[in-house]
Amino acid sequence: MLIASIDPAEFRTQAIEIEPFAGGINITPVGIPVDFETMQMRRKACQPSIPGKYANLGVSAQIHLTLFEKEYLILVRQQKADHALLKLPSGYVPLEQLSNPYLTLAQELVEECLLLKGKKFCRVELNTQRLIKPYSELEYHSEDIFQLYSERSNPLKFPQAQIYINRQPLLGNPFLYIHKQTCSAQLVYPLRMKLPDCEELSLLHAEEQYDQVSNELNVILNSELWLARVNGDGIFSLNKLIRDRVQAMKIPADTRLSEVFAPKRKTFM
């Protein structure tokens, strides 16, 4: 289901430099602003190091959910050319939000993770702040909400350090990891999701897909938001929330785990 279209020509960002600072890590945007295509061209494999320069900054949401006394991590299944990838909900930080990536986090959450109750969608609160309705094509409940709170859970074993941008501490206590395949840096924000106490709830996903004819990003509503049971050794089951039931799902063929689940190597401090 198509619910919106976005012009990618409006996107701008900058490269970043990362260096040790005040017992933690400081991120500084550098260079001239570039468009989406140029950013993608710069995302080539490199050997991570700190201090170092990277193609771009991204954000990811590490969302934990307790349902029926079991713990889940919310993942997106994204189709690639020859395989599918299970990953954290994530996005690129645009130029105007590089000084405060928490704004990008809020935007990605409200645009990508949708909770359907009956035939309408629930509003989203992030740390008690009500977020906007992102899609005019969808109907929203006036009062029913689901809540997201910052927390400091670290089951994926990210290196722990205070993160700064332009030497200012970041909201939300994110972790930082570097993706060497794309020479990019990712801020991972740990969150706890609380669902409303009502029936007929289903988690859905909104995904951007590039249309080569219109040169636009089409936003497609699908069911590729998954609940992953996680233990110390990784994911051991995949499920979906459909009409208030956690339904076990067979892992689709050619599905891989994102690099975020790989063993971590401490590259700083």
Q: How far apart are CA 110 and CA 77, in angstroms?
A: 17
Give the per-residue pLDDT at 269.
43
- Between 160 and 191, the higher pLDDT residue: 191
Instruction: Write the CB contacts of 95 (distance below 8 Å, at least 6 apart in sequence).
Output: 12, 13, 14, 33
Give the per-residue pLDDT at 4.
85
Pairing of strands 70-79, 84-87: antiparallel
Give backbone dihedrals phi and psi of 104, rounded to 5 degrees, phi first: -65, -40
Token pair of 239, please?
A: 């499920």
Task: Indicate whether 177 pLDDT > 60.
Answer: yes
The pLDDT tens digits of the residues spanning 111-148 come to: 999 999 999 999 999 999 999 999 999 999 988 999 99
* Mean pLDDT of the region 46-69: 93
173: nearest Cα among 202, 151, 196, 143 = 151
For residue 193, give the amino acid letter.
M
Give the helix/strand (H/E) hosting 109: helix 102-112
**168-169 β-sheet, strand order:** 52-54, 12-21, 24-35, 163-165, 168-169
Task: Map residue 120 onto helix, strand or coil.
Answer: strand
Q: What angle do CA 8, 14, 17 make, to 5 degrees?
A: 150
Task: Indicate whether 268 pLDDT > 80.
Answer: no
The pLDDT tens digits of the residues spanning 32-56 come to: 999 999 999 999 999 989 999 999 9
For residue 137, give the amino acid letter.
E
46: nearest Cα among 158, 178, 176 = 178
Predicted confidence band at 267 (pLDDT cuts at 50, 70, 90)?
low
Task: Indicate whether 190 pLDDT > 80.
Answer: yes
Predicted confidence band at 212 (pLDDT cuts at 50, 70, 90)?
confident
Q: How far apart are CA 175 and CA 233, in angstroms?
A: 20
Residue 58 · residue 187 · CB < 8 Å: yes
